[in-house]
Amino acid sequence: MAKFVYLCPLILMCIVVSSNAQLQQNFYAKSCPKAEKIILEYVHKHIPNAPSLAAALIRMHFHDCFVRGCDASVLLNFTSSTGNQTEKVGIPNLTLRGFSFIDNVKKIIEDECPGVVSCADIVALVARDSVVVTGGPSWSVPTGRRDGRISNASETLTDIPAPTSNFSTLQNEFAKKGLDLKDLVLLSGAHTIGISHCSSFSTRLYNFTGTFGTEDPSLDSEYAANLKANKCKSINDNTTIVEMDPGSFRTFDLSYYKLLLKRRGLFQSDAALTTSTTTKTYIEQLVAGSLKEFYAEFAQSMEKMGRIEVKTRSDGEIRKHCAVVNS
């Protein structure tokens, strides 16, 4: 899942700023002083044994923040009290992983400080720590988020950018969340450690115009042929997993952007980043720059994303169990 210079309406900016006013570094310094250390230690212990979870957990954080803000609504299960299907079963979230990892962290934190640390903060902290542990960038995670009580599967389709999105759709969906085009490009950089099922992009290979056998002309033909021969051998393949940054997907680097400039972005939404002069220019600047510069800018966009429509103070709750609202 970064961006460019897109001016959001003033009223939107006011909403974003005011809702984030209560987030702060070390929010739990007095109420649960060991919280962040406990989370980091758990991540250090388990993520090296399953490094692909780092991408899954940052994706979970992204999907959570884009629907109702960063409030852990993506973690909720359907119950009689919710009265509806939750985000977890929304189509964009059916391939999310890492729920049991978050549950395990929550249990340890609850044993230390019952009813203090939100699931929303745990998701944000785990996403950051898991990327760092696998050698990627760090970023600031101010805390103080509270957990939402509402989760609707239908909202995942309207709020989470689809892999088939074109540039204008991406621009609009990010702008609704107070994110600009620079954020769009930078956050998309997380795809450098991403993986995907064939079903998310097979239309580009087999049925792009609605007629079977047609291929997306914006996709490098040699890359497309390789995918069809060695990975997604059928348009009906729903199980094969493909690296989004082949040859480098375990390394958080600039390779993803270099592939975009070679027309080898896996999703239509990846390719869309090169259809705007603004975003393409920024991609070229990233590729020409240093990894350190990319990490610094990625960190700024991640912190910005982590502040989307957060609930603080008396809004929301601190769930006892991340998968269910408090009774």
Do 249 and 193 form a contact (C-beta atoms < 8 A)? Answer: yes
**What's the token pair of residue 17?**
């700023």
Q: How far is the C-alpha of 117 from the C-alpha of 93, rounded, in Å?
A: 24
Alpha-carbon dihedral 172, 175, 180, 186, rounded to 10 degrees: -70
How many residues make up the chain in this entry?
A: 327
Measure CA 141 to chain center. 15
DSSP string, 23-66: -BTTTTTTTSTTHHHHHHHHHHHHGGGSTTHHHHHHHHHHHHHH
Closest listed residue to residue 147, CA positions, set 112, 175, 177, 109: 109
Closest listed residue to residue 104, CA positions, set 179, 149, 47, 170: 47
**What's the token pair of residue 242?**
């493909």
Alpha-carbon Rg for the chain, nearest whole angstrom, is 19
Q: From the candidates 46, 61, 63, 321, which is the catalytic residue?
A: 63
Clarify whether 321 is annotated catalytic. no
Would you call 94 exposed, middle or buried from its count of C-beta atoms within 10 A (0-12, 13-18, 19+)? exposed
Question: How far lies 243's CA from each of 19, 48, 216, in Å?
Answer: 36, 19, 19
Q: List active site positions.
A: 63
